[in-house]
Amino acid sequence: MAVERSLLEVNDLEIGFRFGDVYHNAVDGVSLTLKNNEILAIVGESGCGKSTLATSIMGLHDPKNTKIKGEVLYKDLNLLDLNEKLYNRIRGNDIGMIFQDPLGSLNPLMTIYKQIAEALEYHTDMNDEQISARVLELLNQVGIPRPEQIMKSYPHELSGGMRQRVVIAIALANKPPVIIADEPTTALDVTIQAQILDLMKDIQRETGSGIILITHDLGVVAETADRVAVMYAGQIVEEAPVHELFANPKHPYTRSLLNSIPHELEGEDDELHVIHGTVPSLQNLPREGCRFAPRIPWIPAEAHEENPVLHEVAPNHKVRCTCWKHFHFEGEGN
């Protein structure tokens, strides 16, 4: 039986940013695979390294202030070894990116038509008539009404939801096999969020592309993803198929995130769960031991590994550190 080949493979990736003369890793030894026709969600609080992971795959870091190790493999190429000219052939053609701030990622001085057409002009040999037809096709695909009129507009003339649809259209222009969506619904109201998520699922079904979905919203993950990687302090702490993760979460961080989701309160004494502490800054991040240990101080030190690694606790379900075996919420006892 043939083994399904990964569409994109990240191996032991480290991304360090320079503070003075010292580099501090924001992504620390991350390994992931993305398959065809799959939505892989990467979830965690702000500051856990999710967006840094996404932008490093796209090669969007200043090499003067960034130290990168590891591999990002696509079609037998390690993207981290490419020069800027070769990387530009990959960006927008093989890997598309949907940024979390549509107004900030669109050029305020260019019409919607020009911004979508630019990706086609750079990567294809289409003539003007073909480009125009493709732009209209894309605007229709992402559900923009009156596309003939909208493509003549400027970004500031559109609503947030419409701008996000335009950003998605740009990412889809050349039908890339890999799409990275970085918090694509953050600034949108709930109704528009649902429409954007439905659109992404439709696109995945139609094109068979692999999507990396960066988010902190576990509701979005439950509705959209096939697999989930939970990230904390630059590391993957748990990875599992989406149904397995929600039904049988293991790592204390995953369980804490799930326990923090608002639910209907049954009595006046019920309270929302709050995770102790915050994600440490890069300069203060502990590089040895369990990185989540300071936020669960009631768990004894001997419950944690000295050098936590990912353990496969069930088929395709991996958890970092042994502390999950001993975890309980504060006040609940063992």
- Profile the chain (334 residues) by mean pLDDT over runs of 10 residues: 73 94 94 94 94 93 91 93 92 91 90 96 95 96 93 94 92 93 83 84 85 91 94 97 97 94 59 82 90 95 95 96 94 67
Give the side-chain half-sphere CA count within 13 A for 236. Answer: 25
Q: In the chain, what are the domain boundaries?
A: 1-94+215-263+272-288+315-334
Residue position matching structure tokens 């559900």: 143
pLDDT of residue 2: 43
Strand partners for 33: 9
State the Cα angle at 315 between 294 and 242, rounded to 5°: 65
Helices (H) and strands (E) in the chain, counts: 11, 12
Q: Which two tokens stand for residue 283?
A: 């300069």
Report CA-CA distances (Å) from 13 to 70, 108, 210, 238, 304: 4, 35, 20, 16, 24
pLDDT value, residue 108? 95
d(CA 189, CA 161): 8
| pLDDT for 266 | 53
Length of the chain (residues): 334
Residue 5 pLDDT: 72
H runs (alpha helix) in 16-111: 50-57, 84-90, 102-105
pTM of the model: 0.92
Give residue 260's pLDDT: 85
Superfamily of domain 1-94+215-263+272-288+315-334: P-loop containing nucleotide triphosphate hydrolases (3.40.50.300)
